[in-house]
Structure formats: C-alpha cells, structure tokens
C-alpha cells in the first residue's frame, strides 16, 4: 500500500494527474488504504478485505445489533457486548462480553468456542462500508472486468512465460525484458486472431 501511495503522489506531483478511481486486487482492500483514497476523492474499485465470515459455524457480526447511544452491541440472546477499548495492532475497536454472560448461554456453541465473545470493528469501518456500496455500481463492475483482463496478462507472464523474476539489473535492462515478453504475448494473440478469421479468398482477374 505504501508503494501505491507513493506512485499516486508522484503522478500527481509530476504530471498533475489525479485519477477518479483506482482498481486493484483484494490485497489492497485494507480499511486504512480505502479511507486514504476516499479522502482524496479517488473511488476505490477494490474488494474490501473482510474477515467477518471466516467462521461460518458461528454467529456473524451482522447478527449483533449495535446501540449507538450506549456504544455497545446486543447478541442474538439479548446480552450486551460492551466496548472494551482499542486494539491497536489490528486498528479496531474491541467489544467483548464477560465470561459470566456466556457461561450458561444456551447457544454458546453457535457463538464462540472461547470463554466469551469478542467483536472487532475497524477504525475505518465507514470507508469500508462506503466501498461496499460502491461495489454495487455499474462503474465498479466495469472496472473489475477491465482489471481481470490486465491480471490475466500478468498471470500469463508469470505462469507460462516464466517471468517470475527479472534476470538483469538496471531499469533499462528490465524494460527490455518486459518489452520482449509483451511482444511474445502479442504474437500469440495475433496468431490466434488470424486463425479465427480463417483462410482468405484470393481473386484472380483474367
């Protein structure tokens, strides 16, 4: 993400270009980076990095009702999940029940395997939610389709052409290596396009 920020800042500083949107894969979908883009009026066409559904056997966060007046959640059984403080390593707010609340709960097996239930809410949840809504737009879907085409080319370079690592140092040497690889890709596509056209008819005049 730091490299992406620097590239955007360099493009803006050198050429005065500020993109309206940015497409990237899920690895760039952290709340911090999404919020950074939105602050600069750049629409993130990026899947949100979301771990809320990683434990399908247990209640998800959506099944807990948030009470903004008390800054607490209510579990499906009506127990209050209180705010406990900041979790700095994960950049989130921590909510947790007490062990006594969960000890005799009839549905504890569906909620957690620990002594109590925890809920982590990202500091950047408003930005994450904004991008989830953005994902429903036609512009986002079109951007994702275009990105898949580019990703397919990079995948071909790595998997079939063998360009996982460059063999030469210095930028001009690396550029030459990529130009040759791109030429090979284009020649393959040209051959496929000519094969799909089929044989052309030749007319002779007497």
CA 54 from centre of chain = 16
What is residue 177's predicted lDDT score, i.e. its pLDDT?
Answer: 87
Residue 64: CB atoms within 10 Å? 18
- Per-residue pLDDT tens digits for 138-151: 999 999 999 888 88
How far apart, in whole angstroms, are the C-alpha atoms of residue 76 and residue 57? 15
**Is residue 53 over pLDDT 80?**
no
45: buried, middle or exposed (CB in 10 Å: 19+, 13-18, 0-12)?
Answer: buried
Residues 53, 108, 48, CA angle at the centre, nearest 5°? 15
The token duo for 153 is: 């080319």
Contact predicate 109/103, CB 8 Å:
no
pLDDT at 76 over 90: yes
Residues 77-132 pLDDT 10s: 999 999 999 999 989 999 999 999 999 899 999 999 899 999 999 999 999 999 99
What global pTM score does this model have? Answer: 0.74
Residue 113 in contact with residue 132, Cβ under 8 Å? no
Measured CA to CA, the distance from residue 111 to residue 117 in angstroms comes to: 7
Hunting for tokens 């580019």 — which residue is that? 150
* pLDDT tens, position by position, 160-204: 888 888 877 888 888 888 888 889 888 988 988 888 876 665 555
User: Taking the CA of residue 165 as centre, how many other CA atoms within 13 Å lie in the half-sphere pointing to its CB?
Assistant: 3
């Amino acid at each position: 993400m730091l490299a992406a920020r620097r590239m955007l800042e360099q493009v803006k500083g050198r050429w005065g270009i500020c993109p309206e949107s940015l497409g990237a894969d899920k690895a760039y979908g952290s709340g911090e980076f999404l919020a950074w883009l939105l602050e600069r009026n750049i629409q993130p066409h990026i899947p949100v990095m979301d771990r809320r559904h990683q434990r399908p056997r247990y209640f998800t966060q959506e099944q807990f009702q948030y009470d903004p007046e008390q800054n607490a959640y209510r579990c499906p059984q009506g127990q209050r999940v209180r705010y406990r403080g900041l979790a700095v390593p994960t950049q989130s707010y921590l909510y947790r029940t007490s062990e006594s609340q969960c000890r005799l709960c009839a549905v504890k097996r569906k909620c957690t395997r620990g002594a109590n239930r925890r809920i982590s809410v990202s500091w950047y949840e408003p930005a994450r939610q904004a991008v989830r809504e953005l994902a429903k737009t036609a512009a986002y879907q079109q951007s994702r389709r275009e990105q898949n085409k580019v990703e397919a080319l990079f995948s071909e370079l790595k998997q079939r052409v063998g360009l996982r690592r460059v063999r030469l140092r210095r930028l001009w040497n690396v550029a030459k290596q990529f130009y040759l690889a791109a030429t090979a890709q284009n020649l393959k596509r040209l051959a496929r396009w000519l094969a799909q056209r089929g044989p052309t008819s030749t007319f002779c005049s007497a």
